[in-house]
Structure 1
Amino acid sequence: MSETGFAPFRITVCGIDELPGHCDVGVSHVLSILDPGLPPPPAFGSFGEHVRLDLRFDDIIDPIPGKTLPEPQHVDAVLAFGQELLAESPGAHLLVHCHMGVSRSTASMALILAQSRPDRDPAEALAEVVRIRPQTWPNLRILEIGDQKLGLDGKMVAAARDHYARAAKAEPQKARFFREVGRGREVEHLDLP
């Protein structure tokens, strides 16, 4: 969880296994992003009253047969949820989660933060997510769609590419993993072995 000077609400990013640890911290809004067909995690029954948006799509960036690609309507839903949160922001606490709290959730949180602060560089929004969730590897397709919808002129995508380069330098195996699972566009600009 982070008290952030960046947004007018508290933020948390996590994976499914971490959800039980956030039941008693006053989460008011939850963005739950999981693979299609998965039910809401049982931990939500212990969260108390909260507003929740459930989205179901796979953690991919290009079409793969049998998988559900993040689509513009998913990003529209994320941004609309962020707007609703801003309208209620005094005292709000947003938790965004996906399976591991690394890719879909971090991309979505970065877009919500960028939307909440149009006066700031989108790279700062992504940096805030990385600050609270160092293992961040945001889903490029979500960021590409959101960058266009928010009129960021490619700044969020450029920030993501810079982040991938830093993350790959620190953990080359992570970059190789994403290349091997079909997310090569995220690392194509990097010199990987």
Structure 2
Amino acid sequence: MVIGYETEDPLFESGFKWISIKLAAVITFIFVLQLIYPPLTDMFSEIPSRIFFEPWRIITHIFLHSTTNITHIFYNMFGLVLFGAILEKIVGWRRFLTIFFIAGIVASIGSIVVSFLQGTQNIPSIGASGAIFGVIGALAVLRPRMIVYVLYFPMPMIAAAFFWALIDIIGLFNPFDYINNSAHLFGMFFGIV
């Protein structure tokens, strides 16, 4: 309950920490730092050929986004705030963070393996997409009938997750499209499991 306002909405309960929004704010702040100091992106992006000597890149790439394509951070932060807040409400902030970061790490490791198989191990990867797809996968299991809008069409969460996974499966056949489709799929797989 908020003083002067009664609600049954559990988002207003004292246990809800708004971690997804705070995480989006941190990522956006780091994006601004990338704009100010471009070498930051090279220093912390996931580059599979360097991962054995610079293992921090498995986590740090989650906080970086393309400075040449503003839609990259916009869509990721939109998905993080929207789906993250819902998942956080369902599982609590600690479990939400656990799902987010482990999905990001699993997505990174999976995409590193795929990059070596495809011969693209020198192409850097950045973004929170794998972690966010983990959140989407978890919601597909926990709230499969929740209605979401995809391309202006309402559909159950499970169908939306399947649709997004299908797009990424198709994208696997074009390893040079600058979308880390395998990271999305590995992240979603972790979220589902």
Length-normalised TM-score, structure 2: 0.29
Length-normalised TM-score, structure 1: 0.29
Greater per-residue helix proportion: 2
Q: Return the index of the structure with the highest Cα Rg.
A: 2
Greater per-residue strand proportion: 1
